């Protein structure tokens, strides 16, 4: 058992061995009696009464309430025996002496009770201060641990140092596993695992000496937060005695609450890190897929245009040209589906005023009436929809829809945009859906929230 264990046990009112306490109280009364015998012949018995109050107060402070009461009784008897007539007897003739003895006894009794109560309160205050200091130190050492595993190891080491018994920590509600132990590496029997599982599932104390689990060698205490049971701490002594005394249970509960807070903090930090990593991975995936859509699709469109030109020329092998065209179109659809499945892509239709654009189903509706668009018109509208609210340059739209070879053919784009405005705008002369940015490109109005 470490020094900290003994320091903690000193918080309880530490009364000396009973015989020593009573002996100390009676010696103080005897000293006061000797002093009274020295001064009584010169000044009388009146001042002697006050000499018996210090031993009563001293016994209350040093030895406790009951030795102080014994000192009060001994003081009364000593004063009666030595300082009231007839002397050397317990008989009292004078009514004044009788009153003096009675008042002395009452004053000593009240004084001892008050002093003993103050002593108990002082011990309780020191105990609370020491307990709070222990809890604060325990929490501070747990805060220096980052991961749940580090917190588990720190918790069992601290509990071992404070309680002086073997400590294990089990985690995993569905699959309990031993994650930390002190002072050495330990193992659990099937009965111990069953008791730990019961503690994790019911949030109750289980194990040795508790009726719910009689076959375990360990006494398990749940470590719980507002969100459920996080772990179970097992305690056991080598001599088989109860691992935690009754007056230490409150301290243990407070320490386990601090461990639960530390484990909850570590869990939240781990989930935050995992979420940040997932979000960063999704961002990179989205950027990669967007790059595929912007860089690969125009080249596929260029291959399709070249295949169509070869087919119109008629000099090339028609079967070969048809194969190239078909495979290129299929690859273009694959890339389109891949881009649509990118993280953050929304399969919900885009609603802009009376116009609904469903990129997933490749349909466009105006006032719930389906609008027929040519492939080029739909491709321009789809590209603008993917970047709604942003200005896309003429070159970007031409490259994405017609291919890199047609980047300079702005008239192609103007014809497609004019047709879209005629089919979708309320007033094509004053467009609100597809807005022109002079000398730059076009912008689709952002969707409604």
Alpha-carbon distance of 131 to 137, in angstroms, equals 10
How many other CB atoms sit within 10 Å of the CB of residue 201? 15
CA dihedral 122, 123, 124, 129 (to 10 degrees): 90
pTM of the shown model? 0.47
Res 131: pLDDT: 62
Closest CA to 16 of 61, 75, 69: 61
Tens of pLDDT along the chain (449 residues) come to 333 443 344 333 444 467 787 888 888 888 888 888 888 888 877 777 778 778 877 777 777 777 877 877 887 888 778 887 787 777 766 676 677 667 666 766 676 666 667 667 766 666 556 666 766 777 777 877 778 888 888 888 888 887 888 999 999 887 889 999 998 888 888 888 888 888 888 888 888 777 554 577 898 999 988 888 889 999 998 887 888 877 778 878 888 888 888 888 888 888 888 888 888 887 777 767 666 666 676 777 777 777 777 777 766 677 777 787 777 777 776 676 666 555 444 457 888 888 888 877 788 998 888 999 998 898 899 889 888 888 888 888 888 888 777 778 888 899 999 999 999 988 888 888 998 888 889 999 888 65
Please name every residue paired with 319 in a beta bridge, in sequence order, or none if there are none: none
DSSP string, 171-211: E-SSS-EEEEEESS-----HHHHHHHHHHHHH-S-EETTBT
DSSP string, 348-398: SPEEETTEEEETTTTEEEETTEE----HHHHHHHHHHHHTTTSEEEHHHHH
Cβ atoms of residues 161 and 7 within 8 Å: no
Res 294: pLDDT: 62
Cβ atoms of residues 14 and 170 within 8 Å: no
Residue 129: CB partners within 8 Å, gap ≥ 6?
none
- Dihedrals φ, ψ of 213, to 5°? -150, 95
DSSP string, 145-171: --SHHHHHHHHHHHHHHHH-SEEEEEE
Q: CA neighbours within 13 Å on the CB side: how many for 281?
A: 6
Res 112: pLDDT: 66
Alpha-carbon distance of 129 to 382, in angstroms, equals 70
Query: And the tokens for 113?
Result: 């009770």
Res 2: pLDDT: 37
Alpha-carbon distance of 196 to 199, in angstroms, equals 5
How many other CB atoms sit within 10 Å of the CB of residue 41? 8
Res 291: pLDDT: 66
Query: And the tokens for 276?
Result: 């940040």
Query: And the tokens for 80?
Result: 């009666």
Please name every residue paired with 171 in a beta bridge, in sequence order, or none if there are none: 177, 231
Q: In what order do the strands lie in the sheet with 441-444?
A: 391-393, 441-444, 434-437
């Amino acid at each position: 058992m470490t020094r900290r264990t003994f320091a903690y046990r000193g918080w309880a009112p530490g009364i000396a061995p009973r015989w020593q306490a009573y002996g100390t109280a009676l010696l103080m009364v005897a000293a006061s009696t000797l002093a009274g015998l020295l001064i009584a012949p010169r000044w009388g018995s009146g001042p002697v009464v006050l000499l018996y109050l210090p031993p009563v107060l001293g016994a209350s402070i040093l030895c406790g309430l009951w030795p102080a009461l014994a000192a009060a009784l001994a003081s009364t008897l000593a004063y009666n025996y030595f300082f009231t007539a007839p002397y050397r007897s317990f008989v009292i003739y004078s009514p004044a002496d009788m009153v003096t003895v009675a008042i002395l006894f009452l004053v000593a009794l009240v004084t001892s009770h008050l002093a003993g109560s103050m002593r108990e309160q002082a011990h309780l205050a020191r105990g609370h201060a020491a307990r709070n200091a222990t809890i604060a130190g325990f929490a501070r050492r747990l805060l220096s641990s980052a991961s749940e595993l580090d917190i588990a190891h720190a918790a069992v080491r601290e509990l071992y140092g404070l309680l002086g018994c073997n400590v294990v920590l089990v985690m995993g509600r569905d699959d309990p596993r031993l994650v930390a132990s002190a002072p050495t590496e330990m193992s659990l029997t099937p009965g111990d695992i069953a008791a730990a599982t019961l503690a994790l599932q019911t949030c109750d104390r289980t194990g040795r000496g508790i009726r719910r689990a009689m076959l375990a060698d360990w006494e398990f205490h749940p470590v719980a937060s507002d969100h459920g049971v996080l772990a179970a701490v097992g305690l056991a002594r080598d001599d088989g005695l109860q691992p935690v005394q009754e007056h230490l249970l409150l301290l243990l509960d407070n320490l386990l609450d601090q461990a639960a807070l530390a484990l909850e903090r570590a869990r939240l930090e781990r989930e935050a890190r995992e979420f940040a990593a997932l979000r960063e991975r999704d961002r990179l995936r989205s950027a990669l897929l967007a790059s595929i859509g912007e860089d690969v699709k125009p080249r596929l469109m260029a291959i399709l245009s070249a295949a169509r030109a070869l087919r119109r020329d008629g000099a090339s092998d028609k079967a070969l040209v048809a194969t190239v065209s078909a495979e290129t179109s299929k690859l273009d659809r694959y890339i389109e589906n891949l881009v649509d499945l990118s993280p953050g892509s929304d399969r919900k239709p885009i609603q802009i005023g009376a116009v609904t654009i469903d990129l997933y189903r490749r349909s466009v509706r105006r006032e719930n009436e389906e609008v027929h668009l040519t492939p080029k018109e739909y491709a321009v509208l789809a590209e603008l929809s993917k970047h709604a609210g942003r200005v896309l340059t003429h070159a970007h739209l031409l490259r994405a829809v017609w291919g890199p070879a047609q980047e300079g053919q702005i008239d192609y784009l103007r014809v497609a945009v004019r047709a879209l405005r005629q089919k979708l705008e309320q007033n094509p002369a004053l467009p609100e859906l597809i807005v022109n940015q002079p000398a730059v490109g076009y912008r689709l109005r952002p969707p409604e929230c």
